Amino acid sequence: MNLGDILQKEQIITDLRAANRWEAIDELISNLVSTGKIKPEHREQIAAVVKKRETSMSTGIGFGIGIPHASTDLIYDVVGAFGRSKKGVNFDALDNQPVNLVMLFLVPQGQFQKHLHTLANIAKLLHNKEFRQALEAAPDAEEMMKIIKNPLGS
């Protein structure tokens, strides 16, 4: 699973309003509810699982990237939402820098290999400086989606 498999342009927030990682997680989960990827009645439970995971160790991995993620039995396929913050989000990142790109994803409970592969693929892609810069410069979600679908101009 990579970003292009998980996201549609409706799942991209081009200007996150969040000031910190908790608000960013809530904003991205709200997007998953509004796009029909998770049921409204599961919102709080899923938010709690993601925040519990985030409390154990920040998913702010440096380079302005945050990848909050969790497993839950409330979904049947990998789902995610992507947010871009122009002002930066305080994510308690490993390098203590604000986060500009946040990719939240959820994996069905018990799919450990899929979880690891998805996390690795997303992290690898977001570690590419040109890819990050292209996403940060894109004017809208449609353009961001094109970049995600064709990550390195291949």
CATH number for position 144:
3.40.930.10
pLDDT computed for residue 1 by the predictor: 72
* Number of folded domains that form the chain: 1
90 part of a folded domain: yes
User: In angstroms, what CA-CA distances link 92 with 21, 41, 60, 113, 121?
Assistant: 8, 29, 6, 27, 22
91 part of a folded domain: yes
Q: What are the beta bridge partners of residue 14?
A: none
Tens-of-pLDDT digits for all 154 residues of the chain?
788 999 999 999 999 999 999 999 999 999 999 999 999 999 999 999 999 999 999 999 999 999 999 999 999 999 999 999 999 999 999 999 999 999 999 999 999 999 999 999 999 999 999 999 999 999 999 999 999 998 765 4
User: In angstroms, what CA-CA distances link 122 with 45, 113, 115, 147?
Assistant: 24, 14, 11, 14
Distance CA 85, CA 14 (A): 7
User: Do 43 and 33 meet the contact criterion of CB atoms below 8 Å apart?
Assistant: yes
pTM of the entire predicted model: 0.94
pLDDT computed for residue 154 by the predictor: 45
154 part of a folded domain: no
Opening angle at CA 105, ends 14 and 12, nearest 5 = 15
pLDDT computed for residue 33 by the predictor: 98
Distance CA 39, CA 41 (A): 5
pLDDT computed for residue 153 by the predictor: 55
110 part of a folded domain: yes
Containing structural domain, residue 52: 3-149
Query: Could you give the residue numbers annotated as active site?
Result: 69
The token duo for 131 is: 């890819």
